[in-house]
Structure 1
């Protein structure tokens, strides 16, 4: 449906800086910020979390990064790509911008023009800003990176993901458009795009399977060139590099094809690790690593067994990752879907080779960066992220977050309060027989009473608890606070792909 729709459519709260930052700001340059975002890489994939070599795909540069900075072990995201990226960019739950499902071309799901993003935060602070890779927040002019503070954008069409490289090839294979020449299909299909400032989107080249395989090389090269240019100009920069590592189909470059022991997913892990190392080396070469905050994180947990369909040879090497000890896959609200990896390095501010079990949401980066910059966030909207700078500097072990709510579409489906996870809708696999699908293909149904799990005692969520009254009051309090904020700042219509009676 998505392929057909896409081809048819183409064809026919004010935060003050902590004292430590306020005192040091006049004495040194503003820190550069580099945010590298992997795509659907699970908690159990990377070396510092027990993956890497043990997963058949060594990640030596990520191991090095972890030793030089902070590793978060309770880094929490939203259930899918668009929701997590919306939360990262705005510091808000994705539902507050109508993006609580994966954005699909031809639907109203698009970032509102009034959204205040991380790109605008840094631009307002005098930074050069760039994004190279995947935006996935909509293609309306009001939604583009250039409309939200980014000076440069190069990457995918802004409303699709990495699998769009397969669209035309699939249409050709299935004879979906038998009277349309292949050349025309590629002309009208997805193209790599670029944008300068808030100018028009420009098409660069068709996004084919061959381009997909080599795209991260190109994105990394452009990222390094951007950093060198701005550093030479003496301007602080914010680089957002959401590359393709982890997202099916994981077609690796020629350099890494066949390098791992677990197939193309492992090859892409190793390639992504190499690109992270290239960014680290470039910062060192420019002698600015001490004044650069470097973040490497994933937007979601990994895909699950439904990615067996990408095991094209049927040899037991599916295009899927590992969520470690946690249950569930990308697209669900389970711990395995919303808990993944994150490393943060800032020499002189973040102690090397440290780890934090504090609950840290992808939304928290926005207010944390604002605090470091001494910038104010808008007060005409709810900001769900919290300032976690004390975790970075080691002043706090527990941080400023103790709960997190999860949404899928219009539904509030789960809440975390400390080590407790409470579900209000039951995640069910859909389909029949071998086509029973979970993860992003799962369905959810309402329940009369919540399901409750103790994530620390039972990380795989195998033991459902019934004596939860002692903690439910705290979970329900968090929900009531959210609902009160919606009364003050109403949400737009929620994302929807199936119930058209809602509109």
Structure 2
């Protein structure tokens, strides 16, 4: 990359710091605590639990991920990182530290609908900006297109990416309209790459075409490196949010990575995503910012479901959930458990942790580490996990997690047990006759008054309902539900996201 030639590898400050650390690890850690850490958050799209090498995939699946694996070896690798079932809900939970249903965002945002982040939500970017941070997002927002919902009006100083209400396959609408002879959209009137500064209206940059989609992540990388460089020069702490496209369908790799893997365009895309992470990390190191930057790599939800094959791929364009069952849009373990790694040199000891950690937990955890303020006028479902990160405890502070789809509470986790309040999807499969989940468009039908309960440790495919044998588990499971319900008395949710009930 040409930026390597432009930026000298001058590391005098870090060399001095390294010398002090060599003399005393304690002094080094204390020195790191005196300055506010930068935060670099790379959010991948639709990467499953079993895709990354550090989680059992990578080379074993024909698509090595050496840079993410290295990051995992240098940081805290979470093996029980839990998200929401799909893109918009997880991103809303990340940004607000709250269940997505509290923002009316418990379904995927679709352009032209009213699903949009409320104006009065307080985002992670707002919290960090109020704490003195420069903030930027380059990539996919997907929290609605209303003006008040757009990232430049929700705490970010800079935004560059696809339209705020769209996802990565938006460019397909022009071709699809022509194919079906239903709508004729010109290139200039179709989806565009957009940008905006804080408080300003969106500006159209260029049409978002298939060609642009293939190389969009490298544009995001260039913007991210430029942002970090400017903040380094200004001496200002930064929050850089990079929600990249890999590995969201259609996985159209750039020419450089076309055919790089052994498993088709999904593997090519995964390897390209790994290179993207490596490039940003190399830039961080070249800038001398590595030691005082919290780096997070995570995925927003599980991979695309079985049978996915798009744009003429010769293999299914999908990842793997590893040992778990489910896919993007489901409410089973494979949909909401995925990869997450957190690195902060000298502060976070490299290790693997089975502690339950929700995507909502980043908000209060970053607030604690960055000197930010958690809102006190609304329920916050995220939990401060800074003690887990810093090695003060090994178990974390979370024991349960609720899962919503639209206006419905559909599932709850307590420790290793998962209860379902609805059956989802048509048909039956598997030795236990469990009803398979059906993805984003799956149907839900009320059960007969008793939830199904599964032990996801002993039964990761969720084939054996143990609700009758382990009925005592229902007590703590339903207690978590009741605790949530009590918060609704003073802070009722807005109407649930809905596109089917009128």
Structure 1 length as normaliser, TM-score? 0.90
- Please identify, of 437-446 and 295-304, the stretch whose mean Cα deviation from structure 2 is larger: 437-446
Partner of residue 349, structure 1 = 347
- Aligned residue in 2 for 1:381: 378
- After the TM superposition, which residues 254-269 of structure 1 pair with which residues of structure 2 at under 5 Å, given as runs? 254-269=255-270
The match for 2:405 is 408
Report the CA distance shift for 1:265/1:66 in structure 2 as closer, same or farther (over 3 A): same
Q: Deviations over 1:98-127 (max 9, x none)?
A: 000000112111000000001101100111
Say which of 480, 488, 491 aligns to 2:490: 488
Match of 1:128 in 2: 134
Deviation beyond 6 Å, 4+ runs, structure 1 = none
Give, in angstroms, the shift of residue 44 of structure 1. 0.4
Residue 153 of structure 1 corresponds to 159
The alpha-carbon deviation at position 468 of structure 1 amounts to 2.5
Displacement of 1:311 in angstroms is 6.2
CA-to-partner distance for each residue in 1:211-244, whole Å, 9 max, x for gaps? Answer: 1001001101110111011111111100000000
Q: Say whether the 8 Å CA contact 1:100–1:409 is kept in structure 2.
A: yes
1:164 aligns with 2:162: no
Name the SS of the counterpart of 1:351 in structure 2: coil
Following the alignment from structure 1 to structure 2, what is the Cα–Cα distance between the partners of residues 122 and 165? Answer: 33
Match of 2:195 in 1: 194
Partner of 1:62: 68
Task: Check 1:115–1:60 CA distance in 2 against 1; reply closer, same or farther (3 A cut).
Answer: same
Report the equivalent of 1:441. 441
Q: CA deviation at 1:170?
A: 1.5
Question: 1:307, CA displacement in angstroms?
Answer: 1.4
Q: Distance in 2 between matches of 1:239 and 1:227?
A: 8
Looking at structure 2, the residues matched to 339 and 429 of structure 1 have their Cα atoms a distance apart, in angstroms, of 23
Q: Which residue of 2 aligns with 1:41?
A: 47
Alpha-carbon distance in structure 2 between the residues aligned to 1:338 and 1:27 = 33
Distance in 2, matches of 1:275 and 1:193, equals: 21
> 2:77 is matched with which residue?
71
Contact 1:311–1:318 (CA under 8 A) maintained in structure 2: no
Contact preservation (8 Å) 1:306, 1:438: no
Structure 1 residues 417 and 171, CA, compared in 2 at 3 Å: closer, same or farther? same
Gaps of 5+ in 2: 1-25, 428-435
What residue is the counterpart of 1:286 in the other structure?
287
Across the aligned residues of Structure 1 and Structure 2, the Cα RMSD in angstroms comes to 1.7
1:173: Cα distance to partner? 2.5
Instruction: Provide, for residues 1-31 of structure 1, a one-character-per-residue CA deviation record: whole Å limited to 9, x for no partner.
Output: xxxxxxxxxxxxxxxxxxx9xx959962210
Counterpart-to-counterpart distance in 2, 1:374 and 1:229? 22
Task: Quote the Cα distance in structure 2 between the aligned partners of 1:474 and 1:311.
Answer: 46
Q: What is residue 5 of structure 1 aligned with on the other side?
A: none
Change (3 A) 1:437 1:168: farther
1:101-112 matches, within 5 Å, as 101-112=107-118
Q: Give secondary structure in 2 for the equivalent of 1:281.
A: helix
Q: Does the CA contact (< 8 Å) of 1:31 and 1:236 recur in 2?
A: yes
Aligned-partner Cα distance in 1 for 2:53–2:103: 35
For 1:259, what is the secondary structure of its paired residue? coil
Q: Normalising by structure 2, what TM-score?
A: 0.90
**SS of equivalent to 2:440:** helix
SS in 2 for 1:57: coil
Residue 210 of structure 2 corresponds to 209
Q: Is residue 417–residue 454 contact of structure 2 (8 Å, CA) maintained in 1?
A: yes
Pick one of 479, 482, 497 that aligns with 2:481.
Answer: 479
- Residue 253 of structure 1 aligns with which residue? 254
